[in-house]
Structure 1
Amino acid sequence: MRSINNFEKAKRSYLTSIRIFWLLFALFYGQISLSQTHDSIKLIKIDSVVGDLDNDNIDELVVVYDSNLEAELGNVRFLHIYKKNTDKAYKNNPEWLLLKSSNKAIYPSESGGMMGSGYENMEIINGILTIHHFGGSRDKWSKTHKYRYQNDDFYLIGFSSSYMNLPSYESVDYNLSTGKIIFEKEIDEYDESGEPTGKVIKHYDTLLHKIDLPRIDNITLGTQKIYSDKTGITVYLF
């Protein structure tokens, strides 16, 4: 069957990508330990969601883990996608098989600034895995990433961000499949005495920026910079 073949291809690809170590895991009270050569990485489950990601009418399991690996802003976080094990031939087979792992799809544990953890939540709708991040202090930001299973892997197909620092609000929506980026900026108008007039100044722009779709395990968050002359918005993609 197509779904089984796709799973086997993705499984082989994943094992190849981590050829320098074996991934050993055991679920117990929401905690997983991965053993690498002589090091131990401890993962603690912080969120999960189930839903059909590969259109085979069987739900996958997606889990976000915190880890004991240090990053620039807190700890590295992992995203694991598990495939339901439908092989009942052996009694001791695990219920879930690891299909994909990424230590780049989730922001580090202290990336939210004064808001704490930048991770907000995730959901699966119509086969799309959507991950939300949120943070800031007086100024607030949010970022959303959308991943779809296609060509035997998970690819980023949508990215959106918003930034609010009164009196202005900025938003960016990027459809990676088409390459279209929409920029919008709203600024509350104030009079000479500093009182709001009730009017909102709006700026709008669109750009085309086609790239190869990043895979969920090799996405580099917040590195590519795009600037809109018409709105004055600078956005760091992904």
Structure 2
Amino acid sequence: MMPSYFFAHGAPSLVIEDHEYTSFLKNFAATLPRKPKAIVIFSAHWEHTVQQVSAVDTHGTIYDFSGFPEEMYRMTYPASGDASLSEQVLSLLNGAGIPAVPDTDRGLDHGSWAVLKLIYPNADIPVVALSVNRYLDNAQQYEIGKALAELREQDVLIIGSGGIVHNLRQIKWGAGAESVDAWAAEFDTWIEKRLKDWNLEELFRYRELAPYAERAVPTSEHFIPLLLAMGSGDGARTAELLHRSYQWGSLSLTAWQFG
């Protein structure tokens, strides 16, 4: 069965950066047991109050950022869609009591394409993108991922793209990779233990229980994809930290495997 994954997408410039985490992503595909039949990806940068499921022939590329190097605005990621998979995702979600609708227009935002371009640069695997909804509680987020778990049996790669410690107001521009703010590391470590123990009761209450939670997660949209990816690994309930590093003091670049 294909594991599911959470990947931090950092800043939009991740796709042109050269460091330990980008090297990890570039080499990640080789660690999988086989090439995925398709990819289902949740991005923190597609927010909607009703679950959206992409249903396009070919994805456009959304440049949902400004002030970055010109080369980034020339990049594309024209991955094809997968109509039958989109229908299956919609059926699984609606069948689990999670209202979901197709979206036939939207392209891939940088939360999706910047990560995928590093992992599968040829855009040769069909992609179905999904939105996130910050107004659901954490248990509901987990259930959305759980509803899609059977896709892993069909060699579909499920990815949540976001960030565990993601507070742009706390960034220290110019800080090197070796400079890690203690509060960010402490929050990350607290989350790590709950993931490895599969302690859903405490994880779902991270905002009230975890140290520095409000500082690490000022808004929840980047944290949600972690719960979605974890939910899709509910059958096995195993979590493995594959990579963790930091940028600019506190922006965590983390990769987790579930199942």
Q: Shorter-chain TM-score category? A: under 0.3
User: Which one has a larger percent strand, Structure 1 or Structure 2?
Assistant: 1
Between 1 and 2, higher relative CO (CA 8 Å, sep ≥ 6) is seen in 2
TM (normalized to structure 1)? 0.25
TM (normalized to structure 2)? 0.24
